[in-house]
Chains A and B, each alone.
Chain A
């Protein structure tokens, strides 16, 4: 290969190389460090100390334990049911919005695109908002939390399934069709098995998300352990709080371990990518597990008291006296701006701090374990509760809200980064270590180089999730649309509520588009 002419060298420009990119989001720490002293009031360090101490002295009160276990049961049941329903609906929706399927079945693709756009709307609204809206619509019943998770998740799963379907090679399908197979049979045979590993892997991830969502819904009064967490935090009963928290942590780690194991056992494609997916051998096992899950789900639904018929009874809505001029007069610009600022700040913090922390602890053998623990707590602990805890020492406002969101998402991102780092193999890093390079620099050059683009691409996706999540830290005040939304809900201001949901949906759709573009650019480079 002949060298390119200098003008064409992509590397000759002053452009940050891969490992440097991964650290760029962490630059947000500099302005944050400058602002933070003004935000700290330090009034409640004593409370923080009590909170931390309570972690090692959780309450063992049997009454509390019983109620915490019940709450945990509700949370897990809601998560499992919501997840299962979303997976089923999402598979159907995904097939229906796949271009390949429409092309094969009907010879046209536009319905796929139309359905895809339609599905973007339920996806753009956070599950908490769905929960609070459904609560108004059908009343407080267990199915509300299940549905609140199922609706946006189903739309998410549908998008992923259709993307996966449309990315599969069509050669086998065409061969079957040419051989005279009927369209549905050909689709099922050619695409079904190839689709499964991706769906399974993503489904496992969604289950972990569902547990976090179910906890969060509880924080806002939709039942389960989240409710206990919030009540014990608000009445400053930290020992009781930690009892609930440890229980939840145990369940979360168990679930994550199970998903990881099953993913590796069944859906797991070979080392790098989908190519080596060998579902055939495990197909029977997967089928059996699915069949075994069905009665468990039914039992859970029964135990939880989910009554689908009750969902159809939409009863009296709050009286609706719209005052649109007043709605228009709200400070939309400022609210949208602070929502976006909150998103960017939280996303940059979460994305930037995870690799930084990994670098920091690289030389210490126990550092990794410490980080894993910290990240597990971040994932587990719903952001509104982090926000409440932060208020003990920080002033309310955007920064506090951003820190709370960032901590939660750091937990998610950090775990993925670590998993990806492990999966990527450490050849280059080991080579650098053998050449006398220090552990941090070796990790930085050797491993982060390969990870940085895909990690940042995931970060872009995460920013999109964070934008949706800003609604949950509305409690902290001055945090944009979320704050007004909670206020509108408690005032039964339906007009404001509708406007806010519409603005949120529009924002998240725009954000999704933007993060898609960023992601494509990162992955294409």
Chain B
């Protein structure tokens, strides 16, 4: 008899009638359980502030407090590698920079390419390890930003097109051969990755392959090089593209099974990763600071055990000075593809 009342008395609102109905017949046992649940939840809520770090790592350096900005060099990197790699790499580097430059250095993890660029534009990050594309984007949004250094391997960086062996795709002889990828399930890395998306898309375009030519009418974006390899190896995608460096490290660590996934083509070289610094570091940290920063990187040597570890984690023999002009071709490609506007 009471049924119709469910729906009739309701105002035209977001609240569906369900929200206001309770179970009329609950066994006492259940009530007891619910009560203890509630008590637990209440306790958990009270303890919550204790669980939180005093100030989250991302928060402190981003506060616009002038003092923090003056004294602290905030470094970061685009998140295109495994988080544990980044988390091991950057504290080491922060220590080394701090020692050699005589200022406190803090690593700020950023979880998104776009967020890294925006944070740099706003001046929330002082020194960032960008990819070529994100570096150009950041420089365009922050005129005067200084290109500091790149690795030896970044002068002529390569992307590898890879394929699942079961897909039947065979290694190709030249760039024109990329057209075999038409109609295949294909994945890039992250949308803003130079080696995982920008340059490969450029080379694909030259070979006459458009993004809508892939199976499903669009490529996938796996969001990282490691994920691309795993997804192609599993067969989730038939082919993909990764950067040379991550491919090599996955191969040597045994995570990649050469029976299941193979390289089908290596792109020509292009300039990639680099350190980009805010234009105002000299004003904040003293005259000549930017130059000292550059020489610190360039002078990292494998003969020093501490520095060797850093170089090893960066996958480099050494860092070399870099200039904005090196990235002009990237900017041109970026504009062609629409990633730079």
Contacts and interface: CB of A to CB of B under 8 A. Distances in A.
A135 to B, nearest CB: 6
Contact of A457 (B16, B25, B40, B64): B16
B52 A258 contact: no
A272 B2 contact: yes
Q: How large is the interface on B (under 10, 10 to 19, 20 to 34, 35 or more residues)?
A: 35 or more
Contacts of A296: 45-46, 48-49
B140 A420 contact: no
Given A235-B82, A235-B227, A220 B48 contact: no
B141 interface: yes
A164 B11 contact: yes
A14 to B, nearest CB: 23
Contacts of B13: 159-160, 163-164, 167
A318 B341 CA distance: 10
B227 to A, nearest CB: 4
Contacts of B235: 41-44
Contact of A493 (B21, B223, B338): B338
A392 B236 contact: yes
A197 B20 contact: yes
Interface stretch (A26-34, A262-270, A344-352): A262-270
A359 interface: no
Interface in B1-48: 2-3, 5-25, 34-35, 37-38, 40-42, 44-46, 48
B216 A236 contact: no
Nearest to B211: A477
B122 interface: yes
B124 A419 contact: no
Interface stretch (B96-104, B110-118, B294-302): B110-118
A261 B6 contact: no
Interface in B41-81: 41-42, 44-46, 48-49, 51-56, 58-60, 62-64, 79
B258 interface: no
A423 interface: yes
B38 A264 contact: no
A16 B189 CA distance: 50
A223 B119 CA distance: 14
A393 B24 contact: no
Nearest to A255: B41
Nearest to A132: B114
Interface string B261-294: 0000000000000000000000000000000000
B227 A420 contact: no
A425 B215 CA distance: 51
B137 A492 contact: yes
Nearest to B110: A140
Contacts of B10: 167, 273, 523
A263 B22 contact: yes
A273 B9 contact: yes
Interface stretch (A184-192, A432-440, A483-491, A502-510): A483-491
A131 to B, nearest CB: 10
Contacts of A476: 220
A181 interface: no
A236 B44 CA distance: 30
B227 A236 contact: yes
Interface in A373-423: 391-393, 395-397, 416, 419-420, 422-423
Nearest to B141: A318
A270 B46 CA distance: 31
B218 interface: yes
A140 to B, nearest CB: 5
B289 to A, nearest CB: 22
Interface residues of A, number: 113
Contact of B58 (A223, A315, A319): A223
B7 A254 contact: no
Interface in A166-208: 166-167, 197-198, 201-202, 205
A37 B230 CA distance: 23
Contacts of A205: 19
Interface string B120-147: 0111100000000000010011100000
Given A319-B140, A424-B3, A492-B341, A254 B21 contact: no
A218 B60 CA distance: 18
A319 B143 CA distance: 10
B208 to A, nearest CB: 21
A303 interface: yes
Given A69-B51, A264-B22, A395-B215, A304 B56 contact: yes
B24 A300 contact: no
A12 B82 CA distance: 65
Nearest to B215: A395
A70 B15 contact: no
Given A395-B215, A489-B114, 5 more contacts: A70-B52, A139-B62, A227-B111, A258-B41, A523-B10
10 contacts: A41-B236, A223-B111, A268-B22, A274-B9, A319-B141, A391-B231, A396-B185, A420-B18, A423-B23, A477-B219
Interface of B: 2-3, 5-25, 34-35, 37-38, 40-42, 44-46, 48-49, 51-56, 58-60, 62-64, 79, 82-83, 110-115, 117-119, 121-124, 137, 140-142, 164, 166, 185, 190-192, 215-224, 226-227, 230-231, 234-238, 338-341
6 nearest CB pairs, A to B: A43-B235, A305-B59, A167-B11, A163-B13, A221-B112, A257-B37
